[in-house]
Amino acid sequence: MTFREFSPTQPVILGFDPGKDKCGLAVMGLDRQLHYHEVVPAKEAIATIGTLQQNFPISLLVMGNQTTAKRWKQQLSEELTEALNIILVDERYTTLEARDRYWQMYPPKGLTKLLPQGMRQPPRPIDDIVAILLIERYLNRLTSEE
C-alpha cells in the first residue's frame, strides 16, 4: 500500500465498493485529486479502511447502495475504531462505467488497441475504479444541488 504526498489539511472522501469476495477502495480529495485506489480481499477491507483513516483525513465514506450495502454498513459501524459518516450512493451501471474508465486511465497497448472498446476486458478487477466513480457521483450530486 503506497500513499502519494498529501496535504493533511484538506479533508478527503473514501470510496468503498463492497463485495462478497473483494472490495474496491479509493481516496479522493474534494478537488477530485485521486490519492489512492486498490482492490483488496473482502476479509481485509475493514483493516485497510482503518489504515487509510490513519494516513488520510477522511471526512466521509461513500458506498454503493446495492446488494451487500446494509450488512457492510453495519459491520463498518461496529468494527472501525474511528467512526465514519457513511453515505450510500446509487451504484447502478458503475461496473460498465468503470470498464470504460479503466481504459482511460490505462490506455490499451499492443493488439488490445485494435479491439473495439466494448469488447476489451480489463486485465484485473476494477472494483477500485467503481469506488472512484462512487465518490464522483457523490461530488456531482453536491455540486448540482447548489
List, for residues 33-75, the tens digit of each pLDDT value.
999 999 999 999 999 999 999 999 998 999 998 878 888 999 9
In a domain, 51, yes or no: yes
SS3 of residue 120 by DSSP = coil
In a domain, 40, yes or no: yes
Cα distance between residue 6 and residue 100, in whole Å: 28
In a domain, 7, yes or no: no
Confidence of residue 4 (pLDDT cuts 50, 70, 90): low
In a domain, 140, yes or no: yes
Give the chain's domain count: 1
Give 9-36 pLDDT, tens digit per residue. Answer: 688 999 999 988 999 999 999 899 999 9
> Quick count: other Cβ atoms within 10 Å of Cβ 47?
12
67-83 residues labelled b (16+ CB within 10 A) or e (exposed): eebeebbeebeeebeee
In a domain, 3, yes or no: no
Give 64-123 pLDDT, tens digit per residue. Answer: 988 788 889 999 988 888 888 999 999 999 989 999 999 999 999 888 888 888 788 899
Cα distance between residue 55 and residue 58, in whole Å: 9
> How much is the CA Rg of the chain, to the nearest whole Å?
15
Q: What's the pTM?
A: 0.89
What single-letter DSSP state applies at residue 22?
E
| pLDDT of 146 higher than 90 | no
| pLDDT of 129 higher than 90 | yes
**Is 3 in contact with 108 (CB distance < 8 Å)?**
no
In a domain, 5, yes or no: no
CATH number of the domain that residue 121 is part of: 3.30.420.140
**Beta strands 58-64; 34-41: pairing state:** unpaired
Q: For residue 81, what pLDDT is reported?
A: 80
User: Which domain covers residue 37, as residue numbers?
Assistant: 12-145
C-alpha cell at 127: 472494483
E strands of the chain, at which residues? 12-17, 22-29, 34-41, 58-64, 86-89
What single-letter DSSP state applies at residue 82?
S
